[in-house]
Structure 1
Amino acid sequence: MSGGAAGAAPPREAASVPGVVPAPAGLPWWVRDLVAGAPRAAQALAGLGRVQAGTPSGRREGRAAAVLVCLSPGSRAVPAPKGGAEPLGDLLLLERAAGLRAHAGQPALPGGALDPGDDGPVAAALREAQEETRLDVAGVQVLATMPALRVPPDGFAVTPVLAWEPVPSPVAAGDPGEVVRVLRVPVAEMLDPSRRVRVTWDRRLPGAGGGEPATLRGEGPGFDVGPRPDAGARDGAGSGVDVDARDGSGAGLLVWGFTAALVSALLDAAGLAPGWEGARVVPAPALRPALDPLPPPAPAPVAAAGPPQRGQAAPGPVGAP
């Protein structure tokens, strides 16, 4: 997480849910429903960061952070689940770089820890979004903030900031050392039952008080977004590789963890989601053990022939494929 970006728009603080700021004129119905349901989503997420017995506090326990839930009009006509004619829009997501110390290779909402110069969580969310995705924050309308949520295993206290970008600006990865790619994911993909999955994961943690290592296990919602080999057959005409993921890479993304839990709670509370009945179970990608040092640098190759040696491999995924 880097310092404040030059040229950032002045911060626009929103009242904490349920005291949201007045909705801008012309706000789409589905965005209004998401904001109205945010208090119920916050209640559903209240136990998200509960510490399991025998596990230590996070290395960033209680440090304030914020994420931007940035919604925008979509570029694909999608039938509205409530029968309206207005199409659903997009959600801004990113994929973190594989070499990061924390949350390496994971999907995320733009955001990060509050810097000393940030005037609250809204300012931090906008600054981080500008740095990570090159989002033009001058065109972003802040709608509401949710109460801070504890996010394991690090223990950050993360404030979700709900926002609307009526005219989507170009986005791209800011620092390639931190962000691999940026996507505008259609909300409709997260409502498609064939793309809603249950993600299982475990992670090794050091034992509390220097005791035996503990294993943190969990299962949560996930979304298989972006293009798939059978996208044309399963999603019908008008979808497929060239339109499902708007980062131009042609690669899909498994959204899971805190990001998926937050998005799922918001969709559920807004009355948009179809539920999780019949969702297939998939393992999370391999996780680096929390608080472990990074793998050591690879030694220099001793001969020209053959591929260069790599660093220590991460532990493999768990659960059924």
Structure 2
Amino acid sequence: MEEVIYDLIIIGGGPIGMACGIEAQRKGLNYIIIEKGALVNSLFNYPLYMTFFSTAERLEIGGVPFSCIAPKPGRQEALEYYRNIQRHFNLNINLFEKVDRVDKSNGVFSLKTTKADYTSKNVVIATGFYDIPMYMEVPGENLPHVRHYYKEAHEYAFRKVVVVGANNSSVDAALECYRKGADVTMVIRKGEINDRVKYWVKPDVENRIAEGSIKAHFYSEIIEINEKEVIINSPDGEILVEADFVLALTGYRPDLEFLKAAGVEISEGINRTPNYNPETMETNVKGLYLAGVVCGGLETHKWFIENSRVHARMIVGDILSK
């Protein structure tokens, strides 16, 4: 059987990977999308009742309208929309197939996955950032009652829950758990709730903290976790807080090791930014492109669906220009 050499292989079947596939399909390129999990896997793993910061039209891809009754769509509406995108375009996508390695030799890329080997002239990495937590690296972080992902509040009802962080995921979890009857304590490294928290949620959590419904330790961090409590380094010294569960929602990061193994240069600064041309999205490896959140390195707040949808057209346009 003759080996297929694709014009483009897209690693990642999230909204931006799908947008790249749509653009490649429209321009007649022989492409395939390879996704390690379900369609839009990161969105699938979001909290069940998460509401997007963006309005529906900012999440649209392929020119297909995203209809939503509420002012902001939630996880369920987004999953429905992107499933409909797949039905509409019938993208060439392999799900539940993980790309283990990308190599380049003699101007052609070789990809090895958990199921097969592939060859392509060009590659787009659109793998997002949600798969690797930003660990606190403290004793006890690997205990079973410590979670780095949050799905819904029911499990934590009527329990003592410590939530680490002051970003959107932490605030959403703290409020939902509190409203389901949990005794919630937040541990926050800075002196306030993050300014990037959704504007309609930030006053809510600040008011709950002010009235004492949710306890909060500012300018504080966990230094140890044991089976019954956490030890917090605070402005008042070390304090002990009982904890049946610890939600360490301290953020997530791209798989920078995967990028480096593919030959992408990564800056040594605090942001660990990949090397790419912002006009074409091509990395220092010719023919290897980045799209979406992965472009920001550890600055995971820099890119969203709404401002990185354009990457698809930029990348395919550059490929065709060559």
TM value normalised by structure 2: 0.23
TM value normalised by structure 1: 0.23
Higher helix share: 2
